Amino acid sequence: MRESLAQRRADAIRRCTDAAKSVGRRLLFGMTTSLALHCVPIPDDCDLDTTVLHTVASDKTRRTRASGNAGNITMTSHLWQPLPQDGNTRINRHVYALDLFHTWAQLSVHLPLESLVVLGDAIITVMARQAALAQGRDAQEIHRELTRFTDTLPKYKGKRACRTASSLIRFGSDSPPETRERLSLLRHGLPDMVLNYVVEDALFRSGVAMTLDMAWPEYRVAIEYDGDHHRTDRKQWKRDQEKRNQLQSCGWLVFIATGATLANETARAEFALKIARALASRGAKFTFHVLEVPLEAIAKGG
């Protein structure tokens, strides 16, 4: 995932730089182009053309007039009135990327609600990683800032969707599929879980504490999401086996989520029921929904 994101970023930088040189001035890129420049996964169901470079300006007088082809590169220009005066990311002397919070808000009218939540999770993860390298804010603080941003940004199309999505965003998700799995479980009525939970009484041979992607610590029930590399990387596979054997010996029930458990409504419901049975067997009280309820109901506490 990270390697492909890095490749996408390198390609975006090259194309954006060529476009800026073609029009003869610095350009600010937003929408999906900003995500690529920031190394954030682009949701598959975004209705924008991701092969096009998307520039952004605060008013018509500042729009890039080269909408259409700039050299051999196709660009389109967007208006975003609450454009920040600072905080945008300088990629190089020709290219700037719109601040990620504003990029997220911009895309709210181009994504279904679930994908807006998935994107919010991913943005917090990327920003927290960058902040950690700079010894800055942590993920929890960034999450609070996103919520404040959503509440205080002037009225714009998509603000209601952003406010709903912000109440469902959590910090600690390591990948879009993990977020989609979390949301599916919540939609089936399972109680909220802890993300990236550190199990202090379960250690690797190296002495490092083990973590779980999603966990209900009070019931010792957890979920690990296995992407393709968990199967194809033998070192990762052996680490997974050591981890799960150790956790089971400590009384944990560990379930494995994959792309197959997210494949369709039936697969999601069957997996949710399996987790629900485990939680209920250990004393958890909740109302299981055979059918997924709308995310809007969860956001309202329903």
pTM of the predicted model as reported, rounded to 2 decimal places: 0.89
Q: Label residue 69 by pLDDT band (50, 70, 90).
A: low
CB 207 within 8 A of CB 162: no
Confirm if 99 and 106 have CB atoms less than 8 A apart: no
Per CATH, which fold does 176-299 belong to? Endonuclease; Chain A (3.40.960)
User: Which of 90, 297, 274, 272 shows the shortest CA–CA distance to 184?
Assistant: 272
Q: What is the pLDDT of residues 36-63, one digit of tens each?
A: 999 999 999 999 999 999 999 887 766 6
pLDDT band at 136 (very low <50, low <70, confident <90, very high): low
Three-state secondary structure string covering the chain: CHHHHHHHHHHHHHHHHHHHHHHCCCEEECHHHHHHHHCCCCCCCCCCCCCCEEEEECCHHHCCCCCEEECCEEEEEEECCCCCCCCCEECCCCEEECCHHHHHHHHHHCCCHHHHHHHHHHHHHHHHHHHHHCCCCCHHHHHHHHHHHHHHCCCCCCHHHHHHHHCCCCCCCCCHHHHHHHHHHHHCCCCCCEEEEEEEEEECCCCCEEEEEEEEHHHCEEEEECCCHHHHCHHHHHHHHHHHHHHHHCCCEEEEECHHHHCCHHHHHHHHHHHHHHHHHCCCCCCCCCCCCCHHHHHCCC
Rounded Cα distance between 219 and 76, Å, is 51
Average the pLDDT over 273-300 and give the result. Answer: 95
**In sequence order, which residues have a C-beta less than 8 Å from that of residue 197 and are 6 or more positions away?**
211, 212, 214, 215, 217, 222
More confident residue, 85 or 125: 125
What's the start-to-end Cα distance of the chain, in Å? 34
Which band of pLDDT confidence, cut at 50, 70 and 90, is reported for residue 242? Answer: confident
Task: Give the count of beta carbons closer than 10 Å to the beta carbon of residue 29.
Answer: 30
Statement: residue 233 has pLDDT above 70: no
The whole-chain average pLDDT of the chain stands at: 89
Q: CATH 3.40.960.10: which residues of the chain?
A: 176-299
Measured from the Cβ of residue 165, the count of other Cβ atoms closer than 10 Å reads: 27
Contact 144, 170 (CB under 8 A): no
The neighbour count for residue 291, using CB atoms within 10 Å, is 8
Residues 95 and 17: beta-carbon distance below 8 Å: yes
Tokens 């009384």 found at? 251
Q: What is the Cα Rg of the chain in Å?
A: 21
Q: Examine the pLDDT at 179 and tell me if it is beyond 80.
A: yes
